[in-house]
Amino acid sequence: MDNIFGQYGVLLDVNLSTKEIKKTPIPKEDLKNYLGGRGLGMKILWDRVKEPGMDPYSPENPLMFMPGPFSGLPIPSSSRTTIITKSTRTSPKNKKYPHSSTISYANMGGFFGPEVKFAGYDGIVVTGKASSPVYLLIEDDKVEIKSARAYWGMGTDMFDKALIEKFGKGYQSCYIGPGGENVIPYASVLNTAARAAGRGGVGAVMGSKNLKAIVVKGTQQPKLAQHKKYLELLAKARQAFRDDKEGVEYWRSGGTAHALESSSDNGTMAVKNYREGTFKEIEKINTKAARTQIWKRDFACFSCRLACKKSGFAKGAYGGVIHDGPEYETGTMVGANLLISDLEGLNKIIAICDDYGIDIITTGGVLGFLMEARERGLIDLDFLDGIDLKWGAIDASIDMIHKIVRQDGVGKLAGLGVKALAEHIGNGSEEFAIHVKGHELAAWNVNTRAERMMITYGTANRGACHLNSSSPTRQNHNAMQDSLGACSFAGAWYKGDISYRHFIEAITGVEHTDEEFAMIGERIFNLEKLFNYREGFERVDDQLPERFFKDAHTYGKGEGILATHQDFDNWIEAYYKERGWDLKTSKPSPEKIAELGLNFTV
């Protein structure tokens, strides 16, 4: 590739229907304007999905595995891989096409993205559908489609062990479990049996293609534009982490799990299907409890300084599982949100979800919704196929998860998520079906910080997403960060003379002013939005569930606080104005489109 530094300008392009495997050049302009990861994936999605309304399960839906320009370099905490595709989870209120859905991106840490980079690719795109289960084996230039019959049906933990046994040191992999195989719409993709690209149904799309796994080993690294400058930045970045013992220790000692307690105290936690914001039994599942009862070791992703992953081993009635202990999202969604406070039981639910390869956030949302519907008498034991789903019920939760993944009875419906469940049950149940655009909310509750959380969830392009942020500036920044291969948890350290922009300059040689660099994230975010708009998502689809306008928390810091519809309208209009989007339709204005170089979308 001419004059491309820090990247290869090469996409591994695999069609599972035709078995064609080729290297597709990536235009230099796209590398500059979209970097890699989420951004470059979005650009490729736009280029390949030419018409709106494509069925996400159709063979044509491209499934992309994207590292970024940081991937494979030991820049602290740059391990992330983004998986991008057209969503299986979302739908607009007014369906323009039978299969209208948003874009989807899900992000995982670990070691997969760096290895893709070592193999000589800036990304992998898979289209088509294999006639029987396969996996992709990549060893630098050698790429093979192999039979995965022997592995089909294996949970992710057993499969991970099988891959380690078969390939061993030097290979990395990501894969689906039975959730993805059975095309459960909220199936996830995992690597190292615990690190999940959980959201938005990326595992379902992978399963629909009969693709069990991608196994990769590589030996290469691209040449950098300014090697010496990069080394200087790297030394400074390493020092910045070394100097901040306290900041690093926060992650090391608990990671996001620390937020379990603080969020509960602040009334910002999803408790009892978002009815409350504080969990009265929080001390049973907080970091202290996990440290003493469950966590055994701290683990880091590739070249990471934070080691926020905690592997654990529970004893007791639900013991015997060796798996990652609860972090904030998992601990809340299948813990506090269901009023489950038995740490061992909670750990077991997490392990089962990961073993099946299903999104734990959505699973927690679905279980919470069903528990509430049952409590309100909108559904009965018959509806639940005899599963006694009540607040705090661990065994019943586990039974329901089995049913969902096996697509058995009520599990079929529950596998579609809360929006579909509410449509089926009716009787006003949509008011407590906690989703935006069909995608369930994450573990941060809304009422106590309504403006911030409503904009965060309402305007996220993959449907409700806690990592979206509430201001356009932050949202753009996050989109850029997701496009580097960098981890958002370490983002705070990359400021001043070691900001991402400096690294990109040293790695790729492309110079950006601060303004131009900020525009990269804005471009990505708007391109996602334009894709969604073309699918028929408009202002009404940014709306939050009625619960957040009706049900104030009855205790805790958020007690009595409620936003009105008028508040929300004011906030969203201010947001659209700042974005340069049409107030009625939410469409980005022609001026904005032109300014961002997105004229190819019109």
Partner 1 sequence: MTHKESSRRDFLKKLAIGGGGVVLLGKYNFLFGNQPKNGILKAIIVDFDKCTGCRTCETACSAFHHQIEIEGEMLNGLGNPKLANIQVYHYNPDVDIPSICANCPDTPCVNACPVTPDPITGHKAIFRDELTQSIRTNHSVCISCGSCSRACESERTGVIKMNSISNHPEHICDHCGGNPQCVMNCPYDALSFREVDVDGTYFGLSPEEIAEKLFERYYAGEEVVNG
Q: Which residues bind partner 1 (CB under 8 A)?
A: 72-74, 76, 111, 118, 157, 160-161, 164, 168-170, 192-194, 219-221, 224, 227-228, 231, 238, 241-242, 248, 296-305, 307, 311, 313, 315, 322
Query: Which lies closer to partner 1 via its Cβ, residue 36 or residue 92?
Result: 36
* Contact between 184 and 176 (Cβ < 8 Å): no
Min. distance of Cβ 231 from partner 1 in angstroms? 6
Q: Nearest to residue 233, comparing CAs of 73, 33, 37, 111?
A: 73
Query: Would you call 594 helix, strand, or coil by DSSP?
Result: helix
Min. distance of Cβ 81 from partner 1 in angstroms? 16
Strands ordered across the beta sheet of 142-147: 142-147, 134-139, 211-217, 172-175, 189-191, 195-197
Distances (CA, A) of 147 to 125, 150, 439: 19, 8, 33
Min. distance of Cβ 189 from partner 1 in angstroms? 17
DSSP, res 441: P
Q: Cα 421–424–429 angle (5° rounding)?
A: 65
Q: Count CB-CB contacts under 10 A for residue 30.
A: 19
Main-chain phi, psi angles of 189, to 5 degrees: -120, 135
* Contact between 136 and 114 (Cβ < 8 Å): no
Q: Nearest to residue 115, comparing CAs of 163, 43, 180, 55?
A: 163
* Contact between 523 and 596 (Cβ < 8 Å): yes
Query: Which lies closer to partner 1 via its Cβ, residue 244 or residue 375?
Result: 244
Q: Count CB-CB contacts under 10 A for residue 169.
A: 6
Min. distance of Cβ 510 from partner 1 in angstroms? 18
Query: Which lies closer to partner 1 via its Cβ, residue 118 or residue 575?
Result: 118
Please give the structure tokens belonging to residue 359: 């999104």
Query: Which lies closer to partner 1 via its Cβ, residue 149 or residue 315?
Result: 315
Min. distance of Cβ 82 from partner 1 in angstroms? 21
Residue with tokens 């899900």: 106
Query: Which lies closer to partner 1 via its Cβ, residue 300 or residue 400?
Result: 300
Min. distance of Cβ 283 from partner 1 in angstroms? 24
Segment (H or E) for 146: strand 142-147
Q: How far is CA 301 from the centre of its chain?
A: 16
Query: Which lies closer to partner 1 via its Cβ, residue 310 or residue 437?
Result: 310
User: How far apart are the C-alpha atoms of 566 and 492, rounded to whole Å?
Assistant: 35
Query: Which lies closer to partner 1 via its Cβ, residue 242 or residue 495?
Result: 242
Query: Which lies closer to partner 1 via its Cβ, residue 343 or residue 420?
Result: 343
Query: Which lies closer to partner 1 via its Cβ, residue 145 or residue 322?
Result: 322
Min. distance of Cβ 228 from partner 1 in angstroms? 6
Q: Nearest to residue 24, comparing CAs of 50, 54, 44, 2?
A: 44
Q: Nearest to residue 87, comparing CAs of 408, 525, 464?
A: 464
Min. distance of Cβ 168 from partner 1 in angstroms? 8
Min. distance of Cβ 240 from partner 1 in angstroms? 12
Query: Which lies closer to partner 1 via its Cβ, residue 113 or residue 200?
Result: 113
Min. distance of Cβ 73 from partner 1 in angstroms? 6
User: How far apart are the C-alpha atoms of 110 and 300, rounded to whole Å?
Assistant: 8
Radius of gyration of the chain (CA): 22
Min. distance of Cβ 170 from partner 1 in angstroms? 7
Min. distance of Cβ 324 from partner 1 in angstroms? 8
Q: Nearest to residue 354, comparing CAs of 168, 489, 212, 197?
A: 197
User: How far apart are the C-alpha atoms of 161 and 375, rounded to whole Å?
Assistant: 41
Query: Which lies closer to partner 1 via its Cβ, residue 19 or residue 161?
Result: 161
User: How far apart are the C-alpha atoms of 509 and 514, rounded to whole Å?
Assistant: 15
Residue with tokens 């891959």: 163
Q: How many residues does the chain have?
A: 602
Min. distance of Cβ 161 from partner 1 in angstroms? 5
DSSP 265-315: HHT-B-BTTTTBS--TTGGGTSHHHHHHHTEEEEE--TT-SS--EEEEE--
Amino acid identity, position 152: W
Q: Nearest to residue 303, comparing CAs of 140, 517, 118?
A: 118
* Contact between 84 and 484 (Cβ < 8 Å): no
Min. distance of Cβ 328 from partner 1 in angstroms? 19
Query: Which lies closer to partner 1 via its Cβ, residue 70 or residue 531?
Result: 70
Amino acid identity, position 177: G
Main-chain phi, psi angles of 240, to 5 degrees: -60, -40
Min. distance of Cβ 67 from partner 1 in angstroms? 15
Query: Which lies closer to partner 1 via its Cβ, residue 157 or residue 359?
Result: 157
